[in-house]
Amino acid sequence: MASFVKPENALKRAEELINVGQKQDALQALHDLITSKKYRAWQKPLERIMFKYVELCVDMRKGRFAKDGLIQYRIVCQQVNVTSLEEVIKHFMHLSTEKAEQARTQAQALEEALDVDDLEADKRPEDLMLSYVSGEKGKDRSDRELVTPWFKFLWETYRTVLDILRNNSKLEALYAMTAHRAFQFCKVYKRTTEFRRLCEIIRNHLANLNKYRDQRDRPDLSAPESLQLYLDTRFEQLKVATELELWQEAFRSVEDIHGLMCMVKKTPKPSLMVVYYVKLTEIFWISDSNLYHAYAWLKLFSLQKSFNKNLSQKDLQLIASSVLLAALAVSPYDSKHGASHLELEHEKERNLRMANLIGFSLDSKLESRDVLSRENLFSELVSKGVLSCATQEVKDLYHLLEHESFHLDLATKLQPLLNKVSKLGGKLSSASSVPEVQLSQYVPALEKLATLRLLQQVSKVYQTMKIESLSQMIPFFDFSAVEKISVDAVKQNFIGMKIDHSRNIVLFGNLGIESDGLRDHLTVLAESLNKARAMIYPPVLKASKTGDLLPDLADIVDKEHKRLLARKSIIEKRKEEQERQLLEMEREEESRRLKLQKITEEAEQKRLAAEYEQRKNQRLRREMEERELEEAQALLQEAEKRVGKKKGSRKPVLDSEKLTKQTLMQLALTEQLRERQEMEKKLQKLAKTMDYLERAKREEAATLIEAAFQQRLLEERMIHERDQQLEVELSKQRHEGDLKEKNRLSRMLESKKIFQERVISLRQEEFSRRRAEREEHIKQIIQARKAEREAKRKKIFYVRREEERIRILREEEEARKREEAERRKKEEAERKAKLDEIAEKQRQRERELEEKERLRKESLFGSSARSGDAPARPDVAPSSRPLDPGTAAPAAAAAAATSPAKYVPKFRRNEGSTPDAPPSESGRWGSSRPDRPSRPDSWRNDDSRSAFGSSRPSWSSSRAPARASTDR
């Protein structure tokens, strides 16, 4: 262990070792200096040594060295300059955070790098073997080697600082800041294990403070500043616990806050209590403690309504609606029916803890469920005005589920209200301390409550029901979910029912389970014995009272008729009220839409104003920083001037390269602190002198004060006696005057009574007359309103009948038109079918004619081939072998018969009479009759082709049947 005459020598030696790369030796040298008993008086060089020491500890990740050095430095500067310890700790945390951030930016896969369950656990042998076997290469291995160690060191830094500052009353703010930074570390990197451990550390620190009250520098929790810091730390812990969804730790944090408030007997600010109850509502909702969740909402509503004067009406409506829906979400039956004694005791203890957290002080001898119950909660809601502040949809939901008679169509009435309620909610305005309200989370609980109400009503109306019918009545859940709800309700003795899956029915009634019957078997035995005794010894039957009831039957019928008429009038009034409510709801919806539009416009304006304000604040902040720098320099110059004027004082040594705003401010504040200490010493001395002087003056004045007091007593006694004698004389004079006045007024007593009776009788007659006139006027108004209502109903009835008649006539006219159109369409289809049939027949006839013509030509050419005289040219007529007249005529006749529409030349027609004669010019090329016009050339070519057996028929023969069919 090296020994140094001055601390500066150790710092120089450490820097030399660092320059040659021996950081471990440099750290050891500084550690020996700090832990040495020789340097127990604080000096300025020790602060620079500590800065270098923590830098080496951070570079080499030596957490234990850093902790030992900080503990020794705390001992040195605790009573002299605790600010130096604060600066060293801040520098230590800044370096650790900076190194961790550098390592995180170097690694690209942060999630793999932080895949460690516990930052305090060393690497296990199986992990090392797995890394060698799996062949972890490159980037993954570098991430684990770079990032994780630095985050472990940062976590160790937070623990070290908290452990050093836990009993230091002068550094409570730094302790709170370190705890907040540790909470943010756990929140950002999702370190749930470290967060639980951190909460336990802070909890143990507070317990040790209460356990060891005789410590010298122990923080005083009764001071407002200390209490506020501890409460802020616990509230930050509660917020981070809820954001990490560590609900058990959040509940313990709430208990810590409540214990801290009970410890100091002081209620925190309303803004903190709002955060407390907001987090409490989340915790109770997650833990399915709906009753305490509703009570927490009620407390939150009371705080907001009482202390938040800037809360808007819309935000207050949403909070009140949340309170009312949370109360409706509470189960309508006791969930501990039939529980064992041990379970009841455990539940009683748990309820006491939760009730104390909400703010209800319960007697442990009483049942908490008798004080905190669903019925008491609703009565408090009504008394505190929560129901009047809620929205109309939530009010209708409350009246439908709690106050109206439950009908079997409850689900159809409830469904639109639930849809509207699920759309309500959202983020509240900045004036509200509650961040947001979501009413949709209560919809499942409300559906369960509606299901229970329906089952309760159905069990009163029916004895047996099909499962399909029950499922249709409850559209919220499947029947499996309804079955679970009903089983729980039957278990808690809320309803009586059984489900028979074999017959697919549900049985309702007083159907107790077998275990319930075993509890009161003695009572059942006694009832059975009473029934048996009644059967053995039947009681004497009394005379029938039917004869007595018959005379009153007419009165009973008349009363029943009047009751039915009254019920009818009530139903009509309810219908009118429902229509009025629907109109009001529509008007409210329109006004709500306009308000929402207006709020959106205002929010946009606020956003623009906020942006402008932010830019303005940034500009002002820059100006303030420049002004502060100038003021710090001015303070430093003044301090140097003051130091220069004093003899024997040293000027502070300033390094121009490291001269920053913080340095200037620190120097100026140090000088001001020194001057303040000198001024305090002078004031103490002056106070002591003034104390002696004041004591001497009071000793001299004591005798004079006593003499003046005795003289004052004598004067006051004389004044009292004189005033008393004067009062006696005045009383005698007043008594004599009162007696004379009494005698004078007694003579007018009879006249006064007569006048009084006359006035009272006149006023009584006037009152009777006016009351009779008023009753007559009211009767006339009622009769006029009845007549007006009857006329209005008749008018509506006539209008509806006329509309119905017009509608029926319109429907009959439309039906007649449809029938007419269908008939026309049918006739058109029949006409078209007939035309198609005629055309088909015509085509069939044409095909038959073509076939006959083809057969005739084949027969004609076949006879020519057999004769062997086929002509060489088609235009030369055959003359070598004349036809026999006896055979030619029948052939021509047959040809004419087979083709009646075919054109035949004239020389063919005359072959039977003059076969050898050549055809004449007129017969061949034209008509010999003067009335027949000559044919065109195209017709001649057609005739010549027909004469020599052309296969194409004439257009006239083929078109004629089609034209005939069209004409028909």
Q: 């008023």: which residue's tokens? A: 774
* Spatial CB neighbours of 413, under 8 Å, sequence gap ≥ 6: 400, 407
Spacing of C-alpha 456 from chain mean position: 30
Phi-psi region of 495 (alpha: psi -120 to 50; beta: other; left: phi over 0): beta
**437 phi and psi angles, rounded to 5 deg:** -130, 125
Q: Quote the CA–CA distance of 282 and 267 in Å, as a whole number.
A: 22
Q: What is the pLDDT of residues 703-756, one digit of tens each?
A: 899 999 999 999 999 999 999 999 999 999 999 999 988 888 888 888 888 999
Q: Which residues in the chain come in under a pLDDT of 50?
A: 1, 109-113, 126, 129-130, 132-139, 337-340, 360-370, 511, 513-514, 543-546, 647-658, 865, 867-901, 911-968
Residues for the chain: how many in total? 968
What pLDDT is recorded for position 655?
A: 44
What pLDDT is recorded for position 368?
A: 45
What pLDDT is recorded for position 795?
A: 94
| Three-state secondary-structure class, residue 499 | strand
What pLDDT is recorded for position 781?
A: 95
What pLDDT is recorded for position 391?
A: 83
What pLDDT is recorded for position 23?
A: 79
* pTM value surpassing 0.75: no
- Per DSSP, the chain holds a count of helices (H) and strands (E) of 35, 5
Q: Quote the CA–CA distance of 6 and 33 in Å, as a whole number.
A: 10
Residue 162 one-letter amino acid:
L
What pLDDT is recorded for position 668?
A: 73
What pLDDT is recorded for position 416?
A: 83
Least Cα distance to 56 among 90, 1, 14 occurs for: 14
Do 195 and 246 touch, CB atoms closer than 8 A?
A: yes
